[in-house]
A and B are shown apart, each in its own frame.
Chain A
């Protein structure tokens, strides 16, 4: 029964993934997932410093040796993006993280996890149409692109105490996944005065369009390694200061297999390539050549370093700050990763947070609650590649966010239900400004593993 439940659980996990729907999702590999669980979102941090429980962060393996139990953690998140200028909103949700963490005798810890590394889900249409005058015809061109997919991160972590104060951890991340990108290129030669689709409306929008659809598929794989080092050696007065450092780099070159499928004219307008379309996908002499496969290495070379400080104002009240810098150090000038020429080149994160942890042995119900809050700043830079030029132009956008969160401890094994909420104001130098609400709920269940139980008499 237990085995069956485990398979059941894994099936559900594999069917879930976080998605983002905005123009940012169409850049490069999509939106990089910055915060995976509710406690990190509640603190507005990147999870380097303890925010789950006192001296414990689900994201930093050097803190896992402080866990009294093994934990299984599942986090689910949703994001709402409102465009301030164009008055649209999108809401998407999905699984953010699954983790199993096993502390061993307070000296070692191992963990496995599955979480999205990046995600794409976008449906964009051009807000300006190109006009050409050809042979006395006026041709109006338009374009829409859509895509979806992303990269998942299967991680294996191992941590050990170096000394009583210093801890070291390595996290190996196997990145894998795929994405599909589609460009729908259409043009029309003006209205023809005919109800072509027999719906009673003559020359409605798009009715006279001739659509050309171009599909691409990217398959990704690569490996990253994160190194963590934490120290609680320093005390300021009677209070402890925890310092953590983290560095991430490529372990195995990131590989992108790009499949470029032959474009086709979608004559019957159903969005699929079938016998009614051109070129006809049937007959020995008419089938278009197979998809072009291009294999690229080093299209994506992420590198990240982070540093964080946590100061215990009281035993339960902690203030912390984190700084992280992520950058893609690849030298590529290709837009193969995306239908849009933009690609995220780097971002910087900075946060200041305050967390009031729950008591180990709460006397009142409210003492079993963790309270988290923070303010964070992020600055993103995008590279824009011009196909006919060697130079790269750069754009930027900034986030200012406010975070709040709460965690509820329950049960003998310190199970926990966490909620995290971000309110983010995104200022964009070339898109309209956004207001983003990021919500996350996490359930963490503790259990004792590898303990020899007494046989029942």
Chain B
């Protein structure tokens, strides 16, 4: 027993010693983990067109652009819950509520007032509540005349004079008191909470208004003013009158864009939001180039590069690149397609801000790595411009041009393999 204790104590003692482990420098030119490159140049590009839709834009447009884009009307759907009080459209219909006034307000995106412009407001009392969809409605499926709009009122742009250096945006304020009861009446089976704004006269330029995506402060809104009478005590006639304002903002809004006719140039891939030109890029040899890579390779960089005619108006835009989900049927991509037939795998590749001069480099390594894993098939990439300074800008990139080989798209891959 005593001997065992001695052994245990000895073991504990020797385990308490420390060690010094310095890193050693040595020649490590062994073949494990090698870096190599691949270059792919046979890349093809194809254009197709869908109707423009800018429902998620922070701006709404009215008027005619110099390039020929027409924005005939903007359409709004107002939500039935107030954002600044507990009132709803239903509670506003109560007989105890006295509506003093009601107006629909639009805010201009420019802080300089434009004179001489009159706008008309319409509503749709006989059309049911679902007449447009912010993400799907466009000039092909939403016709003003089919909707039977009913005129409400007209208004001009108005700007409160700033009393300091603050920025006051001009607004258009429409009086809607005359139709407010029928507008908010939920007992009406045809209740419609949609409003439409259009210019009374043709506009020589495009005006932009803030949309619901720009935030509560400037979102298009319906303001209803009521007053509340309170007797201060039961024995006297003294009363208190409070004026209350209830705001109901627009949650869905959309300005319709009618694009001009446009012919794409050969050798150029044209992209644009207003024109809704989208691009498809195919790299046919990609599979045969990736499959021979050493096992367990990791793509360190994959730059898909395009060149574009350098023009200051073409810089600073955002390009969304998404892998195509299935085989592209090019025969179905003729003309303006009501629905985009190209399904994509979202959230694999990041949106890229293009601010370079003359060259677009897209990092598609996640896509290539997934192809190498076998999780994704190489059906190509869909290119779209998003979030541009103006939806009416067009962007062209050289694609499969015979003008100059050096302007052709190229894919440069770097990888590391064990």
Interface residues of A (CB under 8 A from B): 1-2, 5-6, 8-9, 12-13, 15-16, 19, 21-23, 72, 74, 76, 78, 83, 86, 88-93, 95, 121-128, 132, 134-135, 139, 141, 143-145, 183, 185, 187, 210, 212, 214, 260, 262-265, 278-279, 285-286, 288-289, 292, 335, 339-341, 386-388, 415, 431, 441, 443, 445, 447
In the complex, chain A residues whose CB is within 8 Å of the CB of B3: 72, 415, 445, 447
Q: Are A443 and B23 in contact (CB under 8 A)?
A: no
A16 vs B15: C-alpha distance when bound (angstroms) = 7
A454 vs B10: C-alpha distance when bound (angstroms) = 31
Q: Flag B153-181 by CB within 8 Å of A: 1 or 0 each.
A: 00000000000000000000000000000
In the complex, chain B residues whose CB is within 8 Å of the CB of A9: 4, 7-8, 11
Q: Are A1 and B32 in contact (CB under 8 A)?
A: no
Q: Are A88 and B32 in contact (CB under 8 A)?
A: no
Q: Are A74 and B29 in contact (CB under 8 A)?
A: no
A121 vs B21: C-alpha distance when bound (angstroms) = 9
Q: Are A141 and B19 in contact (CB under 8 A)?
A: no
Q: Which 8 pairs of residues, A with B, have the shortest CB-CB distance?
A: A76-B14, A185-B33, A127-B25, A126-B28, A91-B20, A12-B11, A445-B3, A387-B31
Return the contact of A92 from the options B6, B14, B20, B418 (Cβ within 8 A): B20
In the complex, chain A residues whose CB is within 8 Å of the CB of B375: 285-286
Q: Are A93 and B19 in contact (CB under 8 A)?
A: yes
In the complex, chain A residues whose CB is within 8 Å of the CB of B366: 278-279, 286
Q: Are A91 and B19 in contact (CB under 8 A)?
A: yes
Return the contact of A264 from the options B5, B7, B298 (Cβ within 8 A): B298
Q: A260-B418, A340-B30 are in contact. Are A93 and B25 (CB under 8 A)?
A: no
Return the contact of B418 from the options A214, A286, A340 (Cβ within 8 A): A214
B14, B31, B37, B366: most-surrounded residue (chain A CB, <10 A): B14
B15's nearest neighbour on chain A, judged by CB, is A16
Say how far A443's CB is from chain B's closest CB, in angstroms. 5
In the complex, chain A residues whose CB is within 8 Å of the CB of B37: 134
Q: Are B10 and A126 in contact (CB under 8 A)?
A: no
Q: List 21 A-B contacts (CB under 8 A).
A: A16-B11, A16-B14, A21-B19, A21-B24, A83-B24, A86-B24, A90-B20, A90-B21, A91-B19, A93-B19, A124-B23, A124-B25, A128-B27, A212-B416, A263-B296, A278-B366, A285-B376, A341-B30, A388-B31, A445-B3, A445-B7
In the complex, chain B residues whose CB is within 8 Å of the CB of A415: 3
A49 vs B31: C-alpha distance when bound (angstroms) = 44
Q: Are B298 and A23 in contact (CB under 8 A)?
A: no
Q: Are A78 and B17 in contact (CB under 8 A)?
A: yes
Q: Are B25 and A86 in contact (CB under 8 A)?
A: yes
A431 vs B35: C-alpha distance when bound (angstroms) = 26
Query: B113 an interface residue at 8 Å Cβ cutoff?
Result: no
In the complex, chain A residues whose CB is within 8 Å of the CB of B25: 86, 124-127
Query: B270 an interface residue at 8 Å Cβ cutoff?
Result: no
Q: Are A90 and B22 in contact (CB under 8 A)?
A: yes
Say how far A28's CB is from chain B's closest CB, in angstroms. 13
In the complex, chain B residues whose CB is within 8 Å of the CB of A339: 30, 32
A443's nearest neighbour on chain B, judged by CB, is B10
In the complex, chain A residues whose CB is within 8 Å of the CB of B28: 124-127, 143-145, 340
Q: Are A126 and B27 in contact (CB under 8 A)?
A: yes
In the complex, chain A residues whose CB is within 8 Å of the CB of B5: 5
A432's nearest neighbour on chain B, judged by CB, is B26
Say how far A430's CB is from chain B's closest CB, in angstroms. 8
Q: Are A265 and B300 in contact (CB under 8 A)?
A: yes
A86 vs B15: C-alpha distance when bound (angstroms) = 30
Query: B404 an interface residue at 8 Å Cβ cutoff?
Result: no
Query: B370 an interface residue at 8 Å Cβ cutoff?
Result: yes
Query: B310 an interface residue at 8 Å Cβ cutoff?
Result: no
In the complex, chain B residues whose CB is within 8 Å of the CB of A263: 33, 296, 298, 416-418
In the complex, which range does the number of interface residues on chain B fall in? 35 or more
In the complex, chain B residues whose CB is within 8 Å of the CB of A447: 3
In the complex, chain A residues whose CB is within 8 Å of the CB of B26: 23, 124-127, 431
A295 vs B412: C-alpha distance when bound (angstroms) = 36
Query: B295 an interface residue at 8 Å Cβ cutoff?
Result: yes
In the complex, chain B residues whose CB is within 8 Å of the CB of A183: 32-33, 418
A274 vs B367: C-alpha distance when bound (angstroms) = 20
Say how far A90's CB is from chain B's closest CB, in angstroms. 5
Q: Which of B136-160 contact A (CB under 8 A)?
A: none
In the complex, chain A residues whose CB is within 8 Å of the CB of B199: none
A384 vs B6: C-alpha distance when bound (angstroms) = 47
Q: Are A128 and B29 in contact (CB under 8 A)?
A: yes
In the complex, chain B residues whose CB is within 8 Å of the CB of A8: 8
Q: A16-B14, A126-B28, A185-B33 are in contact. Are A443 and B6 (CB under 8 A)?
A: yes
Query: B403 an interface residue at 8 Å Cβ cutoff?
Result: no
In the complex, chain A residues whose CB is within 8 Å of the CB of B412: 135
Q: Are B33 and A123 in contact (CB under 8 A)?
A: no
A23 vs B369: C-alpha distance when bound (angstroms) = 35
Q: A90-B22, A93-B19, A212-B298 are in contact. Are A72 and B7 (CB under 8 A)?
A: yes
A8 vs B12: C-alpha distance when bound (angstroms) = 10
In the complex, chain A residues whose CB is within 8 Å of the CB of B30: 335, 339-341
Q: Which of B23-57 contact A (CB under 8 A)?
A: 23-33, 35, 37
Query: B232 an interface residue at 8 Å Cβ cutoff?
Result: no
- A128-B27, A285-B375, A447-B3 known, 14 other contacts, Cβ within 8 Å: A2-B1, A9-B11, A12-B8, A76-B10, A95-B11, A125-B26, A128-B29, A141-B35, A143-B33, A145-B28, A183-B32, A183-B33, A279-B298, A441-B14
In the complex, chain A residues whose CB is within 8 Å of the CB of B33: 143, 183, 185, 212, 214, 263
A361 vs B373: C-alpha distance when bound (angstroms) = 75
A9 vs B296: C-alpha distance when bound (angstroms) = 44
Say how far A178's CB is from chain B's closest CB, in angstroms. 19
In the complex, chain A residues whose CB is within 8 Å of the CB of B31: 341, 386-388
In the complex, chain B residues whose CB is within 8 Å of the CB of A12: 8, 11-12, 15
In the complex, chain B residues whose CB is within 8 Å of the CB of A126: 25-29
In the complex, chain B residues whose CB is within 8 Å of the CB of A278: 298, 365-366, 369
Say how far B356's CB is from chain A's closest CB, in angstroms. 14
Say how far B55's CB is from chain A's closest CB, in angstroms. 29
B28, B37, B375: most-surrounded residue (chain A CB, <10 A): B28
In the complex, chain B residues whose CB is within 8 Å of the CB of A83: 24
Return the contact of A95 from the options B14, B376, B418 (Cβ within 8 A): B14
B36's nearest neighbour on chain A, judged by CB, is A132
Q: Are A286 and B14 in contact (CB under 8 A)?
A: no
In the complex, chain A residues whose CB is within 8 Å of the CB of B10: 74, 76, 443
Query: B401 an interface residue at 8 Å Cβ cutoff?
Result: no
A23 vs B19: C-alpha distance when bound (angstroms) = 17
Query: B414 an interface residue at 8 Å Cβ cutoff?
Result: yes
Return the contact of A132 from the options B12, B20, B35 (Cβ within 8 A): B35
Q: Are A122 and B8 in contact (CB under 8 A)?
A: no
In the complex, chain B residues whose CB is within 8 Å of the CB of A260: 296, 418
A23 vs B338: C-alpha distance when bound (angstroms) = 68
A91 vs B22: C-alpha distance when bound (angstroms) = 9
A387 vs B417: C-alpha distance when bound (angstroms) = 14
A19 vs B26: C-alpha distance when bound (angstroms) = 19
Say how far B298's CB is from chain A's closest CB, in angstroms. 5
Q: Are A134 and B414 in contact (CB under 8 A)?
A: yes
